[in-house]
Amino acid sequence: MSRKQQLLKRHRRNKRIALLVGLALLLLVGVLVAWWLPVLLAVLGWLAHEAWFADHLFYSPQDDYRYDFGSDAQPVAVRLEAGRLLLGSPQEWAGNETLVLGVQVKSSWLGRLLDPAIEVRGGSSIDRQVFERGVNGLRYLNLSGLAGPLASGELQLRGRFCRIQIQPQLMVWRDPDYRRQRVMVIAPHADDAELAAFGLYSQADEAWIVTLTAGEIEAEHYQAMGLNPAEAARVKGRLRAWDSITVPRWAGVPESHCVQLGYFCLQLPAMQAAPEQPMASREAQLSDIRLFRQFNPFPLPADLDGQPTWNNLLADLRALLLKARPEVIVLPHPTLDPHPDHICAQAALMQALEGLEWQPTSILGYANHLHDNDRWPMGDSGAGIALPPVFDSGTVLRPWCLALSQVEQYDKAMALGMMHDLQPKMPFKRRLRRSIQQLMALRKPSALGENEFFRKAVRRHELFWLLKSR
């Protein structure tokens, strides 16, 4: 069981215990006071839960984030005067540096009910980076893309429903422009490349998109059309395979650089555990991956037998690495992203590189999911991405951030809108919860799309982590 599953299991257990205790207290109130009072309290309690306690937050908001950023950050002295962030000495920056500022954030009493945030104003740019309700600890503000206003003394910071105290040193990283290199994005499922790296690959001089699985499971939307479960899974897999080939064309990536490997969703861990044994689809009644590879622009090794094995996956990846010869590989981060297919995608790529004659110059990691906080990145679509919660300083996490213009953000939103898996309406319970949170917690839904990923992924930043550089 993954750490994320363990945290979720513990969270649900604690909720069940709290529910039983609450029911006992309500029954006692009904006996001792009035029969109707428990009904009223139960409704109010449910509304409070949906508004303020329904987030999957598996840590205390009063815990400090604990990062080891490594040794290659350039510290720059800063101070906060009358709300302006001022540099201790003049700096010459190109404008594409990654800038991170440590901030002690303490929520006000209102910040326990409404999302506390730090407003960042620089010239005509206004950003709002959001933190956990009830926050009281060290957090990291992302100022990437704001080097100009900061250097000119125009950058202002203001706490909203919180008080802030900055650390005296800003951390600055300078990186090569990865957009000027050959980029290959490894996507465990169709839409992972767009969620994590659409801005990067849409601006790259040369980009390749390699999707590992068809993502055919959980096809209830298609079952509602009258298809049986296996037919629905096959239709969903074919649609997502089509998406993985065609949506990158919106960003200018040629069809010849988009590949769908067609392995089955959530079967990568089983394949890894038994590398020679085929692992059939859980729901599509398929044991041949070639149905989902029909849109590929060229043949690959596993096309010979269509067997869903780990060894075939490695052979496919090695063939693609030698054909594309990427200088930059972008893949799921091995410790930040807990999805089992994402963990295995990273492991497969690294194993495929072992002993290969071509090696990338840089490897960047991304996280489309988190262990500890299902709502991260917190805040609204269009806002910046503050650094995620990290509590184990034993792993070096060295950030690289790409700032996106508003036009680039809208292009990314349109790409996500083309993805069939992000189009169905949310379940009624989730829509109701969102309405309650909008009314009581003043959370604004994204105007770009109903799926939660439109809020989480369409931001002024794309955040990556440098895993390898030479």
The predicted-structure confidence for 149-177, as pLDDT tens digits, reads as follows 999 999 999 999 999 999 999 999 999 99
pLDDT of residue 7: 63
Q: What is the largest CA-CA distance in the chain?
A: 78
pLDDT of residue 470: 79
Total residues found in the chain within this entry: 470
pLDDT of residue 418: 98
- Cβ(236)–Cβ(244) below 8 Å: no
Contacts of 147 (CB under 8 A, 6+ apart): 91, 93, 94, 95, 96, 97, 99
Tokens standing for residue 207:
């980009």
What secondary structure letter does DSSP report for 368?
S
- How far is 30 from 313, CA to CA, in rounded Å? 61
Tokens standing for residue 44:
């109010």
Tokens standing for residue 152:
């000119």
**Per the confidence metrics, is the pTM higher than 0.85?**
yes
Give the number of C-alpha atoms closer than 13 A to the C-alpha of residue 461, restricted to the C-beta side.
31
- How far is 53 from 64, CA to CA, in rounded Å? 21
pLDDT of residue 23: 75
Below-50 pLDDT ranges, the chain: none
pLDDT of residue 11: 63
Could you give the 3-state DSSP secondary structure of residue 438?
helix
pLDDT of residue 8: 63
Q: Report which secondary-structure segment, H or E, holds 320.
A: helix 310-324
Q: Report which secondary-structure segment, H or E, holds 31.
A: helix 3-32
End-to-end Cα distance, the chain = 35
- How far is 15 from 8, CA to CA, in rounded Å? 10
